């Protein structure tokens, strides 16, 4: 099982990444660096995403913005929750018992990542409805239905992992807590329960919807190009290929979904292997866990690099911040110059 700061006979902290111990530092340096680095990236990146969505009204025209913002808030909370293992690795004293802290932290992280996974599945369903039923989309997908769906996502995620307090270790391995490593075992039946109730349905929905989305987009693109070629041949002009208008936005969301499952796949595989007592390794547990958690920052990068409207909102936000800083600097310089003139007048 994965371990934590279990001291050995020499009194040194037990570090999962064995190269991280230094004689002058009484904690696992490399683990702390990795967790704190990810925590800073996740918190700062998702705060920027949330601010951009509030400052760019065009982004809110898409119904998927509800789910993107839900993911951003969930990922932000993941970054904040990473403060718990950071303080634990630094031997910061806690009021609650280690077993309770471990269970709460594992439950919270599992719920938050479940919210992200369910939101990605809902995004794919939303895009599927938009492409297959464009005429009735606005009547089917309304703001209040989206809010109910988001509330259901949070409630469902909380309920799915609630049995972890009595049944066994959930979909997160508490790599930095000693109690998690030694006493909180993975139950194969609980693992099967999570796979059936969360992992498998979400993956099936994503694969089914995006497969049909791209298939329909290819058909639309082929039909549009055939029409353009037919009309251009009649007019004597060469027609240019016209891509499906929904395909570009679907590709952005598909990249976010793909990266999510790519980063979480190693951990899910390890989770299944450990649950079935086939393979268990401390280093693999730590690396796969925090590789999966790093996805909370990757969503910000993908969306900022792929969405032109988001880029415009980000430029507007940065421009507003720079203009505010410039105004404060000018006001400070003017007040300084006035104070100098007044002081010079007093000395005359």
200 belongs to a structural domain: yes
Task: Write down the pLDDT at residue 152.
Answer: 95
How far apart, in whole angstroms, are the C-alpha atoms of residue 338 and residue 58? Answer: 43
Of the candidates 138, 282, 257, 269, the one whose C-alpha atom is nearest the C-alpha of residue 202 is: 257
Of the candidates 89, 94, 122, 90, the one whose C-alpha atom is nearest the C-alpha of residue 206 is: 122
If phi > 0 it is left, if psi is from -120 to 50 it is alpha, else beta; for residue 177 that is: beta
Task: Write down the pLDDT at residue 245.
Answer: 57
Task: Write down the pLDDT at residue 115.
Answer: 92
- Note whether 100 and 146 are within 8 A (CB): no
13 belongs to a structural domain: no
pLDDT at 5 over 50: no
241 belongs to a structural domain: no
E-assigned strands of 85-207?
none
348 belongs to a structural domain: no
Mean pLDDT calculated for residue range 236-255: 62
pLDDT at 127 over 90: no
Q: How many domains does the chain have?
A: 1
192-245 pLDDT, tens digit each: 888 889 888 988 998 888 888 888 877 877 777 777 767 666 555 555 555 565
183 belongs to a structural domain: yes
For residue 25, what is the DSSP state? B
Of the candidates 204, 238, 206, 239, the one whose C-alpha atom is nearest the C-alpha of residue 223 is: 239
10 belongs to a structural domain: no
First to last CA, the chain: 80
Most confident option among 21-35, 59-73, 228-242, 331-345: 59-73
For residue 157, what is the DSSP state? H
Task: Write down the pLDDT at residue 50.
Answer: 83
37 belongs to a structural domain: yes
* CA distance readout (Å), 26 to 10, 14, 23, 240, 323: 12, 10, 7, 66, 45
Q: What is the CA radius of gyration of the chain?
A: 26
**Assigned token pair, 334:** 């003017």
Confidence of residue 3 (pLDDT cuts 50, 70, 90): very low
Mean pLDDT calculated for residue range 102-121: 86
In degrees and rounded to multiples of 5, residue 216 shows phi and psi of -65, -40
Positive or negative CA dihedral for 79, 82, 86, 91?
positive
156-163 contacts, C-beta under 8 A, 24 or more apart? 156/114, 156/118, 157/111, 157/112, 157/114, 157/115, 157/118, 158/111, 160/114, 160/194, 160/197, 160/198, 161/107, 161/110, 161/111, 161/114, 161/194, 162/107, 163/190, 163/193
Positive or negative CA dihedral for 200, 206, 212, 214?
negative
272-331 pLDDT, tens digit each: 887 777 887 777 877 888 888 888 888 777 766 666 666 677 777 677 766 776 677 766
Mean pLDDT of the chain: 74
Task: Write down the pLDDT at residue 151.
Answer: 95
Choice among 182-191, 247-256, 339-348 with the minimum mean pLDDT? 339-348
The domain that contains 265 carries what CATH number? 1.20.1070.10
Q: Which is more confident, 10 or 26?
A: 26
Confidence of residue 94 (pLDDT cuts 50, 70, 90): low
- Note whether 55 and 317 are within 8 A (CB): yes
**Which residues contact residue 84 at a Cβ distance below 8 angstroms, ignoring those fewer than 6 apart?**
101, 105
How far apart, in whole angstroms, are the C-alpha atoms of residue 255 and residue 276? Answer: 31
Mean pLDDT calculated for residue range 184-189: 78
346 belongs to a structural domain: no
Most confident option among 72-76, 263-267, 269-273, 310-314: 72-76
Q: What range defines the domain where residue 210 resides?
A: 21-227+246-310
Of the candidates 90, 118, 113, 121, the one whose C-alpha atom is nearest the C-alpha of residue 173 is: 113
**Assigned token pair, 104:** 């709460």
Residues in the chain: 348
Confidence of residue 1 (pLDDT cuts 50, 70, 90): very low
**Which residues contact residue 123 at a Cβ distance below 8 angstroms, ignoring those fewer than 6 apart?**
64, 67, 68, 253, 257
How far apart, in whole angstroms, are the C-alpha atoms of residue 303 and residue 124? Answer: 15
Confidence of residue 4 (pLDDT cuts 50, 70, 90): very low
């Amino acid at each position: 099982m994965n371990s934590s700061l279990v001291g050995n006979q020499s009194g040194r902290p037990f570090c999962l990444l064995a190269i991280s111990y230094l004689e002058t530092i009484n904690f696992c340096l490399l683990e702390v660096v990795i967790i704190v680095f990810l925590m800073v990236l996740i918190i700062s990146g998702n705060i920027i995403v949330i601010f951009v969505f509030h400052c760019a009204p065009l982004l809110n025209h898409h119904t998927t913005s509800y789910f993107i913002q839900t993911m951003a808030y969930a990922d932000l909370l993941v970054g904040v929750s990473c403060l718990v293992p950071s303080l634990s690795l630094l031997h910061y004293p806690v009021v609650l018992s280690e077993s309770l802290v471990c269970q709460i932290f594992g439950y919270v992280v599992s719920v938050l990542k479940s919210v992200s996974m369910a939101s990605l599945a809902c995004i794919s369903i939303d895009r599927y409805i938009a492409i297959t039923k464009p005429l009735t989309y606005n009547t089917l997908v309304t703001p209040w239905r989206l809010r109910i769906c988001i509330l259901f996502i949070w409630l469902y995620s909380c309920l799915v992992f609630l049995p972890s307090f009595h049944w066994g270790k959930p979909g997160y391995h508490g790599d930095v807590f000693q109690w998690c490593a030694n006493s909180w075992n993975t139950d194969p039946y609980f693992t099967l329960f999570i796979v059936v109730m969360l992992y498998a349905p979400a993956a099936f929905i994503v694969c089914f919807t995006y497969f049909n989305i791209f298939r329909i987009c290819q058909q639309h693109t082929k039909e549009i190009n055939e029409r353009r070629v037919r009309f251009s041949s009649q007019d004597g002009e060469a027609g240019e290929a016209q891509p499906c208008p929904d395909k570009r936005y679907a590709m952005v969301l598909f990249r976010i979904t793909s990266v999510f499952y790519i980063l979480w796949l190693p951990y899910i595989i390890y989770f299944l292997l450990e649950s079935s007592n086939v393979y268990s390794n401390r280093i693999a547990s730590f690396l796969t866990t925090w590789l999966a958690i790093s996805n909370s920052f990757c969503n910000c990068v993908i969306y900022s690099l792929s969405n032109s409207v988001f880029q415009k909102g980000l430029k507007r936000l940065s421009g507003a911040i720079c203009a505010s800083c410039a105004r404060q600097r000018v006001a400070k310089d003017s007040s300084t110059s006035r104070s100098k003139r007044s002081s010079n007048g007093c000395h005359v």
